[in-house]
Chain A
Amino acid sequence: MEFKVIAKCPITRARVSRMVLAHGATMLPTFMPVATQAAIKGLSPEQVESLGVTLILNNTYHLNLRPGIEILKEANGAHSFEGWKHNMLTDSGGFQLVSLSKFTTITEEGALFLNPFSTGEPTMLTPEESISIQHAIGADIIMQLDDVVPSLQQGPRVGEAMERSIRWLDRCIQYHESSGKKDTQNLFAIVQGGLDPDLRNRCLDGMLERKDRVAGYAIGGLSGGEEKDIFWKIIKQCADKLPEDRPRYAMGIGFAEDLLVCVALGVDMADCVFPTRTARFGVALTHTGPVNLKLAKHAKDFSPIDKECPCPTCKSGASRAFLNHIVTHETTAAHALTVHNIVFQAQVMGRARDAIISGVFPDYLRSFFAGYFGNRGYPEWCVNALRSVGVDLLENVDVPVLPGSGAKWEYSDAA
């Protein structure tokens, strides 16, 4: 991997970097759309490529079940199997395994689970096995197997999981280095430690010791319903301590405000199913907040979702009335909104890159929040988080500040 920081925000911790992987360059910070089962819901790789996306996520757990490793090997990996020519990242499969398999037991050796496809026979996913599966998939960035616990888990289990994640990282590194794939595939470590700053610190210390043998760092175990003020503090703690010359990836982050706060705290990459999932429920993301096209108020609105938007949906002149007519009835409505939402996420991050390079990132944050939340009010945690890196969202504006996770959007009520 070639990783170079090309610009830094003079105020916040935000930065722009260029990451070159085996399938081309990707500019960071970036958002990665999720292609769980080897396809971004409803789209073809040519469509995704046309949206200016250069890095997507595939899920190891799913691909391991279907089509399975043997078939992926025969196809020469997931890139060629699914026709994707650009960069790809795979997770370790651990999270889905814990959440999808009912009888998963974690031991020092690995995660023992009942394979839903092999008539309930117990199967062991070890760190070595996870890496070996990711080698067969052939993603440009692969993740270590970590010991996942729910974000709100408390007690000794959290510390145990953190310590084990470090030991598993060693096994992943060992296996990866001996495989000869090190030049084409890049292994990322995942910082764990729950919501406990001490545990996070110990995890960071342990993982930083292995810096020379990992290509980047992810921040895991968040975005699981913890309080937002705790969330950003953990992100900040990790991002502050992670090395300058390694990409930082916040896992499972996808709301626009979360993305921008994370970027301001020094995060380079994020992924989430939210933008593509919400598209299937009829919600278009816009710079003035999410729009639920199922609502009757759009039935006679002949304006596009966003007339400035360069996505194929808006550029074709598709109106809200048109989308309201097909949404939830026709799969193409999901496609239309999926491309729009992917472009929206990419625009939020692309504009951040430009603003960082031009030295006006704090202004961008202020104008984004003003446009996105307007008078609905700013989430208090965003105000707090951005103050911690020297940006006051409330400077010269008079908007309410909302406790909790923030504004009520069209997608969250009365759909």
Chain B
Amino acid sequence: MSSSHISFQSLVCLSANREGSKHKFGPRGGKVLIRNGQIAIDTPGVLTCTSRGVVPHLSRDNVKRTRAIKWVHIPFESFLEHRPPIPTLQPQSGETPRINTLLGFPQEEYVLSMSLRNSADGQEMPANTNAYVTANCIRGMRKASLDWRSYVDSCKPDIIFSLSDTPFTPAPYSQKRLTKSIERSALWLADMLQYPETGPITRPGNIFVQMAGGASAPARSAFAESLVEGLQGKEAEAMRPLKCLDEGVAGYVVEMVPLRLSIQGFHDPSPNPATVTSLIQASLSSLSLSKPRLVTCTRGPHEIIRLVCDVGVDLFDTHWAQHAADVGVALDFHFPAPKTTVELELGHNLYDTKYERDFTSFTSHDLDSSTFCPCPACSPSSVPSSEIIRHSFVDEPGSNVSTSRNPSYTKAFLHHLLHTHEMSAHSLLAMHNITVMDAFFAGIRQLISQDDLSLFEAEVDRFFETYAEDTETGDTGARDERNMLKDDTQVNVFKAAEKAWKEVELLRGKGRLARENEKAKAESTTAANAILTKEMEEKGIEGGSEAVVPMLPDTGL
């Protein structure tokens, strides 16, 4: 058994008594044991998304401050702009895997998973072939095939996503295309699993497989079946002692972005939840119950709850919550929902002028002090004065530093930061939103642990009644009676935030562009002076005290 082995401990399954195949898909609670149990992640649980190897908007000290970040997922493709990729060149430091050293995620504190592609990227891509998967990096398209295995061998992440032939060409896909997709995905998984029975490198026990098959339930089932089919001939030889591919698989992954695209095409990716549920069930129904199920890029708590309830999904990323931080939304919801008779929004669009003078924290329904958001924005605290950097022997960094919690950042302050385009806004929101998601999952786990399906379902209903679904990035929520159709006049918080965010970006962009254009046109002293004035203006915008820009003498050119 390799040291990277992953196992899943199912503790509670609320639907063990449901009839037929339904018992496989009820809400369940458990633990994913990583590195032979060195780290345990409670499920249902969350992982944090990264971009270019970092949690967007969070410097390393802020990642550390955000206790909710325990598992980071790294799409590797941004590193393909160098060949060999930079992480593979990182000098090994002790036992720490290269990728952890490079990106600053100490192994004692973080679980790190790695996939080739960014699962949030749904842009159209050239077709894959038998030989490679097309990936995307800043310098254009890159082909990855067997190199993937050498990259993961070198980086040694805790969890590896196998390559998958996921089409990113416009749907619908032909039967032939789907068949190819299934075959290639199985083939590439088999490549990842071929290791000599004895030798210096042992077969990794930490591979998650992405469930292929697009929007076709039969194709999805067929892929699943190909995983449990007995291995034959040379393949069986190369993979001994595995009897089937599935034995070498540690978990199952469903990517929502390509799934939505394959159901609805590129333009209206808002599939009916029942369709999504049945397609994911088709992938899982012939597979083991004792492996964790991970879904990427869900569209918020409503979809997550459906997938927990109706599919028994164990792991989710916080892509939606992190995106909300990008566009200025502070999430504010709990599971179970607070007792209230009014309908609540999932968050606050802090661009909204109604927050201009709102000096309260992001959390409006803290049920009691124990549920108050512990994030660094709602519960900020100073580092102990012994940890404050001293720059000279006479420094007194301890003066005026309190050890108690500092006051929460307010909606009014965030409103100000967003409208003045200050990056700090997004840092505070990212820390908060990730923490809200973590608390949301803690709430789900707590309720599952009570082992009472009807209680759980009652709370789910109450959640759907209390909170309006994010209908912009989600859909109209057709989960039977939990359907919450909203009247059209009500503008969704997320949609409004996105719009405001774009407007502020645009305004800023225009100003800069105009100045650059004029720079390019400058030919005479007069024009040059005009530019100096602009630069003075820019310096003024930057702030500081008097830093005056000189005027050139007008030579009359």
Contact = CB atoms under 8 A, between A and B. Distances in A.
A75 B543 contact: no
* B: contact size bracket: 35 or more
B198 interface: no
A47 B417 contact: no
B544 A313 contact: no
A330 B51 contact: yes
B548 A46 contact: no
B127 interface: no
A394 interface: no
Interface in B194-224: none
A399 interface: no
Nearest to A152: B550
Interface string A341-368: 0010011011101100100000000000
B544 A49 contact: no
Interface in A205-255: 218, 220-226, 251-252, 254
A143 B546 CA distance: 11
Given A37-B416, A37-B417, A43-B424, A62 B59 contact: no
Contacts of A339: 59, 61
B391 A351 contact: yes
B382 A25 contact: no
Interface string A182-206: 0000000010000000000000000
B397 A54 contact: yes
Interface string A293-311: 0000001101000000011
Nearest to A358: B393
A385 B69 CA distance: 52
B388 A49 contact: yes
A225 B389 contact: no
Interface in A260-301: 271-273, 277, 299-300
B83 to A, nearest CB: 12
Contacts, number: 290
B395 A52 contact: yes
Contact of B79 (A152, A313, A325, A330): A325
Question: Which of B59, B102, B397, B410 neighbours the largest number of chain A CB atoms within 10 Å of its CB?
Answer: B59
A347 B258 CA distance: 50
B38 interface: no
Interface in A54-90: 54, 57, 59, 61-62, 66-67, 71, 74-75, 80-83, 85-86
Interface stretch (B84-92, B278-286, B331-339, B438-446): B84-92
B413 A83 contact: yes
Given A46-B381, A52-B389, A322-B102, A85 B424 contact: no
Interface string B317-335: 0000000000000000000
A81 B412 contact: yes
Given A83-B409, A150-B549, A273-B544, A350 B400 contact: no
B473 interface: no
Interface stretch (B160-168, B448-456, B532-540): B532-540
A162 B60 CA distance: 48
B400 A357 contact: no
B518 interface: no
A353 B391 contact: yes
A85 B402 contact: yes
Contacts of A277: 542
Contacts of A47: 59, 61-62
Contact of B423 (A57, A310, A334): A334
B54 A332 contact: yes
Interface in B400-458: 400-402, 406-407, 409-410, 412-413, 415-417, 419-420, 422-424, 426-428
A151 to B, nearest CB: 5
Nearest to A350: B391
B391 A39 contact: no
A107 interface: no
B544 A50 contact: no
Closest 5 CB pairs of A and B: A350-B391, A36-B543, A224-B548, A225-B550, A252-B547
Given A43-B424, A81-B410, 5 more contacts: A41-B424, A62-B543, A83-B407, A148-B548, A251-B545
21 contacts: A25-B399, A35-B543, A36-B543, A36-B544, A38-B422, A39-B424, A42-B422, A43-B427, A50-B61, A54-B397, A67-B415, A74-B357, A99-B539, A152-B551, A321-B89, A321-B90, A331-B57, A334-B423, A339-B59, A350-B390, A353-B391
